Amino acid sequence: MIEIRLHGRGGQGAAMASQMLADAFFREGKQVQSFPMFGVERRGAPVAAFVRVDAKPIHARCEVLTPNYVAVLDPTLVANVDITSGIKSGGVLLINTSDEKLTEKYKGDYKVLLLDGTGIAIKHGLGSRVAPIVNTVMLGAFAKATGIVNIDSVCTCIQEAFPKDKGANANAAREAYDILQI
């Protein structure tokens, strides 16, 4: 079973990202689970969302404690949240930031990948300049970083989740996929 944890803040779309990612896996014939965990339910509060993927039915019904993959939508969370908690050996930590110092901070038996998802979101008009929405950007980067889900499946799910604005979100996801350095 593959387990994924997404970290974000309320209003950034981490919960929606987990649903779109689970949908993409489901379209590829996998068994999936997707659910969020909220602390204080308010905009800006730390949020975690989880996805489980397997070829066979999934019976676990608890939060993901030992993820294979972790995606961080808000780089300010690294100061307050243990984003690497439980990450499995050989896993991937994907952080929305251009701060190269974080690769020094997070050393372990996992790969650390950085992407300026905020810049891509602003470029594509996702959210506002003050509060960009990076969830779809990070899904594109996740597809590239892990290789476990097809970018076309991800973009199809994004387009269906945002029927009024199919282009910007899917284009942002594809751009993130194209430019992420592995």
Q: pLDDT-derived band of residue 58, with 50, 70 and 90 as boundaries?
A: very high
What is the identity of the amino acid at 174?
R
Residue 48 has pLDDT above 70, yes or no: yes
Instruction: Report, as an integer, the average pLDDT of 17-38.
Output: 95
Other residues' Cβ atoms within 10 Å of the Cβ of residue 30: 18
- Beta-carbon count within 10 A of 56 CB: 8
Q: What is the mean pLDDT of the chain?
A: 93
CA nearest to 172, candidates 149, 140, 147: 140
In angstroms, the Cα distances linking 88 to 13, 47, 134 are 25, 21, 25
Which range has the worst mean pLDDT, 7-11, 81-85, 91-95, 168-172?
7-11
Structural domains of the chain, with CATH? 2-179 (3.40.920.10)
Q: Per-residue pLDDT averaged across 141-146, rounded?
A: 98
